């Protein structure tokens, strides 16, 4: 789509807050919000821009404003790359300290999600954000699925201990790279757990050292041995928990409690491993909970809100084609969204055909997320203060919704951009095989047609597909 143009098949409906304009908004959007009881929200970075957190791809977004020299990065994408994090974790922590829990307050849009929950209209929030502001705003943690992980939790890459981010808050806010200070431990071997320094020290580790192999402590230096790579992969497995259910959680492979005082042990014997935030870095596979939650919610959802995201990162860009095409879809974003061709072409499910002709969303509310949400709430006469403390609107809106123009299915609010993303601006998809857990190097993958994100490489397909749901699920080849 060319710049400064708006795609429309129905022409201009109205301008400003005229009665026809409000009536159109009522028919296309407000009626859906009034009648729906099980809304799924796909949330993106645009929700948090008003909180002082930049989005990724806009002119003043993260990718265009990041000081690469200051952070020691070659390109913006390195900030969320696992290998780059291992080599230079200070880059990530210098940037991320402003996002950590307690340093940022929720926006009006975050509070709007909590209001949907209070009105018993919210089924689930699938957020691509890592700031945890949905829960801060009042959405219960059980209704939030972190597609890309959360800063609210962290994990030691050496001993695999998982814990609440508050344990590293001091170091992060001081710009330091946090390391694990719990009592030193080793990983289980064949059912036994041995502490370093004990008389039961494993001969396996000694033999490994004699052969010149590096042990897991190398994770703190950036040098990875085969063993430490295996541990790193296990440690990098995403966990979509929240502060409540992951506080002081520990891996099954370790003992002791989080926050153990190292002074209680001889020779100050502490772990010292590098701590990785609980976020999903580029190239990592989504945690199983994302797919399982979508598979369960698919049968319940009655409306979809896409807020503050261009849906340019897979596999979340495929959610639209996975959910039933019959449900209403509403977009709240600064600009229109164009799905990758593969997602747009295959948006029909096995059971239903998408009757939309030439469009994806039933209504696109274009503008700053907070301005759009404020307009919706004014039109619905909803008030944020209903049961939510200290979350009132900044000022009364009266009958002014902020809506300036309606063109086709596009509704324009303050901050709207009339330039759509081109298909080639979308992130290249990285797919991991759910059989061997390796990155699929070919451009074709065998995908389960009934699961949201279950993929197999050609090598694993013959055997694993027969075990997957006892062979009852169908697979199809798909280009990536």
Element at 448 (helix H, strand E): strand 444-448
Count of positions (residues) in the chain: 480
Task: Give whole-number Cα distances, 461 to 84, 434, 479, in Å.
Answer: 32, 10, 15
Residue 202: CB atoms within 10 A of its CB come to 16
Question: Tokens 């729906």 correspond to what residue?
Answer: 36
Candidates 13, 110, 148, 432; catalytic one:
148
Q: Is 47 helix (H, G, I), strand (E, B) or coil?
A: helix
Residue 162 to residue 158: CA distance in whole angstroms:
11
Local structure of residue 465 (DSSP, 8 states):
H
Is position 148 annotated as part of the catalytic site?
Answer: yes
Question: Binding site membership for Zn(2+): which residues?
Answer: 156, 159, 180, 271
- Estimate to the nearest angstrom the gap between the alpha carbon of 241 and the chain centroid: 12
| Alpha carbons 134 and 145: distance in angstroms, whole number | 10
> Which residues sit in the known binding site?
156, 159, 180, 271
- Exposed, middle or buried: residue 36 (CB in 10 Å: 0-12, 13-18, 19+)? buried
Q: Which residues are paired to 92 by β-bridges?
A: none
- HSE-up of residue 323 (Cα within 13 Å, Cβ side): 25
- The Cα–Cα gap between 214 and 270 comes to 19
Long-range contact set of residues 339-342: C-beta below 8 Å, sequence gap at least 24: 339/311, 340/314, 340/423, 340/426, 341/423, 342/478, 342/479
Q: Report the C-alpha gap between 168 and 165 in whole angstroms.
A: 6
| Residue 220 to residue 216: CA distance in whole angstroms | 8
Q: Which are the catalytic amino acids?
A: 148
């Amino acid at each position: 789509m060319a710049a400064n143009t708006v795609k429309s098949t129905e022409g201009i409906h109205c301008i400003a807050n005229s009665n026809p304009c409000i009536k159109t908004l009522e028919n296309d959007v407000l009626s859906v919000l009034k009648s729906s009881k099980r809304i799924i929200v796909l949330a993106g970075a645009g929700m948090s821009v008003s909180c002082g957190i930049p989005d990724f791809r806009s002119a003043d977004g993260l990718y265009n404003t990041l000081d690469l020299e200051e952070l020691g990065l070659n390109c913006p994408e390195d900030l969320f790359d696992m290998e780059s994090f291992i080599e230079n974790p200070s880059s990530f922590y210098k940037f991320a300290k402003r996002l950590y829990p307690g340093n940022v307050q929720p926006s009006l849009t975050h509070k709007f999600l909590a209001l949907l929950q209070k009105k018993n209209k919210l089924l689930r929030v699938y957020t691509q954000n890592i700031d945890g502001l949905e829960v801060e705003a009042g959405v219960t943690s059980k209704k939030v699925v972190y597609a890309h992980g959360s800063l609210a939790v962290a994990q030691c890459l050496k001993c695999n201990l998982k814990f609440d981010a508050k344990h590293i808050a001091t170091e992060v806010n001081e710009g330091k790279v946090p390391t694990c200070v719990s009592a030193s431990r080793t990983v289980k071997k064949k059912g036994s757990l041995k502490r370093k320094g004990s008389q039961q020290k494993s001969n396996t580790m000694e033999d490994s050292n004699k052969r010149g192999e590096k042990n897991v402590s190398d994770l703190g230096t950036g040098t990875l041995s085969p063993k430490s790579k295996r541990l790193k992969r296990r440690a990098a497995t995403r966990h979509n928990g929240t502060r409540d259910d992951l506080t002081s959680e520990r891996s099954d492979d370790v003992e002791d409690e989080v926050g153990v005082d190292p002074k209680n042990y001889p020779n100050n014997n502490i772990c010292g491993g590098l701590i990785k935030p609980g976020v999903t870095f580029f190239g990592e596979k989504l945690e199983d909970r994302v797919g399982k939650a979508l598979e369960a919610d698919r049968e319940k959802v009655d409306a979809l809100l896409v807020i503050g995201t261009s849906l340019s990162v897979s596999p979340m860009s495929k959610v639209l084609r996975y959910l039933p095409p019959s449900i209403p879809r509403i977009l709240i974003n600064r600009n229109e969204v164009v799905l990758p061709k593969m997602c747009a072409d295959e948006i029909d499910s096995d059971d239903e055909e998408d009757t939309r002709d030439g469009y994806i969303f039933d209504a696109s509310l274009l503008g700053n997320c907070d301005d759009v949400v404020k307009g919706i709430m004014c039109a619905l006469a909803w008030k944020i203060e209903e049961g939510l403390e200290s979350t009132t609107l900044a000022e009364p809106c009266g009958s002014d919704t902020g809506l300036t123009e309606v063109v086709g299915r596009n509704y324009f609010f303050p901050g709207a951009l009339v330039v759509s993303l081109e298909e080639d601006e979308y992130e290249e998809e990285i797919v991991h095989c759910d059989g061997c857990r390796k990155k699929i190097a070919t451009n074709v993958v065998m995908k389960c047609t009934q699961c949201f994100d279950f993929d197999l490489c050609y090598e694993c397909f013959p055997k694993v597909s027969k075990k997957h749901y006892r062979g009852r699920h169908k697979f199809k080849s798909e280009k990536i």
